[in-house]
A and B are shown apart, each in its own frame.
Chain A
Amino acid sequence: MAKVTIDGQTIEVADGTTILNAARQIGGELVPPAMCYYSSLKGSGGKCRTCLVRVTKGSEKDPRPMPKLVASCQTMVMDGMEVASKSDSTVTEARAAVTEFLLINHPLDCPICDQAGECHLQDLAFEHGKSSTRYEFERRTFEKIDIGPYIKLHMTRCIMCFRCVFVANQLTEQRVHGIINRGDHAEISTYIEKAIDNDFSGNVIDVCPVGALTDRTFRFKSRVWFLNPMDVHRDCENEKCSGKAVAWMYGGEIYRVTARKDKYGEVHEFICNTCRFEKKDKSDWVIEGARDLDRHSVISQNHYEHGELTVR
């Protein structure tokens, strides 16, 4: 066990826990934002740099502070470590800088984006962004791509978190998509726009923090905050599929099906494409009850159980 202090709050966590996960165990405002780290995907994280924190004391044995800000999702806690997250102005400045970098080539087309309301970049910009931009050049754009019948890839919105590549690597049988090109012209692509033909490909939509990968069966049907999320389950024939999902309903009609996300937007039990895209009838599912959305985002606003606490 290791004792770690984050923004003055001490917690004891198992050895090998990252600073980010230790912070999540404490919870609250000090939890660093994470755009690319995804706990159920091995190897994810370290890329977006929004979760930077300052380690002010390395450990009990070696109390030297770390010279640079570190990515909290990749740095393991040490016994006696002291970390400054939101309390340190250099950390918040660095996060604001990363937010600015992520936004300079983002289209900011939230009014027509399906992800709006449950977008992590929106939340990040709300917390760390500025009201104006210093970027005065044409933004990078890409053609929209249909990846198979169910998924739309809108690369212009992508922030290169690599999560969907990890999904393809770890959940699906055969990876047909990855990164091509380099630098700010790098893009997610299926080689020669080949359709992702796989039972679990739909999960790339759930892991995408922005609106780069969207559900073609749901696109432009409704704003997410008008829908009522219901916990549902069914006996899925696919043994790898958990069968546990959230049906987003309005007036008794299922508009879309997603996997169940925790308060950090992470899915731990993935679902198959049949459940996600083809079971849109109420009779397909056993309805457990309304889903409690514990997330500080627009999506929670219509759910009165959190009241004004969710608005900051």
Chain B
Amino acid sequence: MARKLLLEHAQVEGINTYEVYRKNGGYRSVEKALKTMSPDEVVEEVKKSGLRGRGGAGFPTGMKWSFLAKPEGVPRYLVCNADESEPGTFKDRYLMEKIPHLLIEGMITSSYALGANTSYIYIRGEYSWILFILERAIAEAYKAGWLGKNILGSGYDLDLHVNIGGGAYICGEETALIESLEGKRGNPRIKPPFPAVKGLWQSPTVVNNVETIAAVVPIVNDGGDEYAKIGIGKSTGTKLISASGNINKPGVYEIEMNITVEEFIYSDQWCGGIKNGKKLKACVPGGSSVPILPHFLVCKTAAGEDRMMTYESLSDGGFATGSMLGSGGFIVYDETQCIVRNTWNFARFYAHESCGQCSPCREGTGWMEKVLHRMENGAGKMSDIDLLNDVAKKIEGNTICPLGDAAAWPVSAAIRHFREEFEWHVNEPRACLERNYGLIGEKVAATL
């Protein structure tokens, strides 16, 4: 059985209450950090652990923390990004629902390390019920003396607030999140300055994902070196994977980053294989924004090596033959799934969620959505395939924030690996409508 660091006690009855959580070793990291360590020592442990941001980009957390500007007389903030809206990703939801105190414990320890006296958890609007779970847990933590003034007699004060968003995907982008937290329209800011220099209320700010902050707890408890022993190379520790799609056992799994993708999909310990004995067609390993992988590149890299569940191995081969671990939204497609329809679904999501601030993303995402919609509905043209590729290429890299890239990558990857299926949609519109929707004999509109 693999080691679990975050979800170890997830199934314990009543773990969402303070008493049970404390009995199972909760808040030990706060005690250890506040009583025996200086803030810089905590940062050092996180650096040693090699922990990488779990929100998608995989940037080393310790390095991010050390970039935080520390001017005199200016407050610093830690913001937890709980705006988990990436299609296919639901790990933070599980963690916050089951063990809210783990996040709060991580927030206290991390805030202490960064010298923040006010910290925020920004939660997505659709997670309205988790707001109450967190607020209850925070009230319990205040009551038990883990939050507030002079925590454990150390002289360190911390106030923790939960803020609920309005339900926009873009607010998961850190600068848009900060804007939204300030009460403004959630438009990403132009960088530089980066949040580490000028973030919330123009003060130095660190924005971290829920899972990243939760991972600080075992790092402080067991030491960064111990954490770094798990995993391969620069992918250290455990990772929560939200497995969904055509698999026997969808759900949230905590894996050590040293197993193969094949093991993850087919082993009974994890996904339990493809549902109904069907064959694997494709896999999106890191949430909707990362490139899709065709079946022959899922378990093996282009070089013929086993593909591992690590940052490096999943991105092996670049975007030509690889993908990204991203946020760990692992979506599996069996042979009956339609890639064009799936790509259209993603494109529709990004067109809906683009903030509308910069031109390539605002106009380009809507354009791609319309072309894919037409193709999926049987009125596509052969030239549309190259058009899509071209539009995606022109959005990528030319936008203010990564949403443009996130919208472009799945489209260009789908065309790169599944061009034949796109061509089939153009050549045999009736056959594809019949397969996808069972609309045999329906009249297909000539234009849409």
Contacts and interface: CB of A to CB of B under 8 A. Distances in A.
A252 B315 CA distance: 70
A101 B370 CA distance: 14
B380 to A, nearest CB: 11
B351 A184 contact: yes
A196 B351 CA distance: 31
A71 to B, nearest CB: 7
A184 B190 contact: no
Contacts of A160: 356-357, 359, 362
B359 A101 contact: yes
A50 B360 CA distance: 10
A145 interface: no
B342 interface: no
A98 B360 contact: yes
Interface in B175-224: 185, 190
Interface stretch (B127-135, B396-404, B430-438): B396-404
Contacts of A47: 357-359, 400
B99 to A, nearest CB: 33
B190 A183 contact: no
Most buried by A among B363, B365, B366, B367: B363
Contacts of A97: 360, 394, 398
A9 B370 CA distance: 43
Nearest to A75: B192
B352 A134 contact: no
B168 interface: yes
Contacts of B359: 47-50, 98, 101-102, 159-160
Contacts of A94: 394, 398
Given A47-B358, A48-B359, A104 B367 contact: yes
Contact of A181 (B170, B356, B363): B356
Contact of B365 (A45, A181, A184): A184
Contacts of B31: none
A105 interface: yes
B352 A183 contact: yes
Interface in A81-101: 94, 97-98, 100-101
Nearest to B189: A46
A162 B366 CA distance: 20
A52 B366 contact: no
Contacts of B168: 182
Most buried by A among B353, B357, B387, B399: B357
Contacts of A181: 356
Contacts of B363: 101-102, 104-105, 184
B243 interface: no
A137 interface: yes
A191 interface: no
B362 A71 contact: no
A160 B168 CA distance: 19
A74 interface: yes
A98 B363 CA distance: 9
A69 B397 CA distance: 7
A182 B358 contact: no
Given A179-B356, A183-B365, 14 more contacts: A47-B359, A47-B400, A71-B190, A74-B190, A98-B359, A101-B364, A101-B367, A101-B394, A135-B367, A137-B367, A182-B170, A183-B362, A183-B366, A185-B356
Interface of B: 168, 170, 185, 190, 351-360, 362-367, 370, 387, 394, 397-400
Pick the 6 closest A-B CB pairs, nearest first: A186-B356, A97-B394, A184-B366, A183-B354, A101-B363, A46-B190
Interface of A: 45-50, 52, 68-69, 71, 74, 94, 97-98, 100-102, 104-105, 134-135, 137, 159-160, 162, 178-179, 181-186
